[in-house]
Amino acid sequence: QQQVKQSPQSLIVQKGGISIINCAYENTAFDYFPWYQQFPGKGPALLIAIRPDVSEKKEGRFTISFNKSAKQFSLHIMDSQPGDSATYFCAALPGTYKYIFGTGTRLKVLA
């Protein structure tokens, strides 16, 4: 119940394409869903986050889609760029401090 399942494990996208990463959860107590971007040798950096009272949030080229009934949320990266190549983690927070992270998706955007 405390898991967040993330897919795919790796993703290769052409420059300008759309990258889509999916996450699913079981625990209905989760009420905050951030996405983190991590470059090699660096710490995770918050990219975008959503609460379950909205179905979509957009910030620049990054969009979170949230389906509360299906307990799923996804990250869409529009017009993907080589500089977006990184590992992306979804996470969920059950109203406290204990982030539950997905296992990560390694994205490679080809030039």
Interface contacts to other proteins, rule CB under 8 A: 4, 6, 32, 34, 36, 41-46, 49, 89, 93, 95-104
The 10 Å CB-count burial string (b at 16+, else e) for 37-59 is bbeeeeebeebbebeeeeeebee
CB of 62: closest distance to other proteins in angstroms?
16
CB of 99: closest distance to other proteins in angstroms?
6
Closer residue to other proteins, CB minimum distance, 17 or 38 = 38
**1, burial (CB in 10 Å: exposed 0-12, middle 13-18, buried 19+):** exposed
Give the residue carrying structure tokens 């969920």.
92
CB of 98: closest distance to other proteins in angstroms?
5
Closer residue to other proteins, CB minimum distance, 46 or 110 = 46
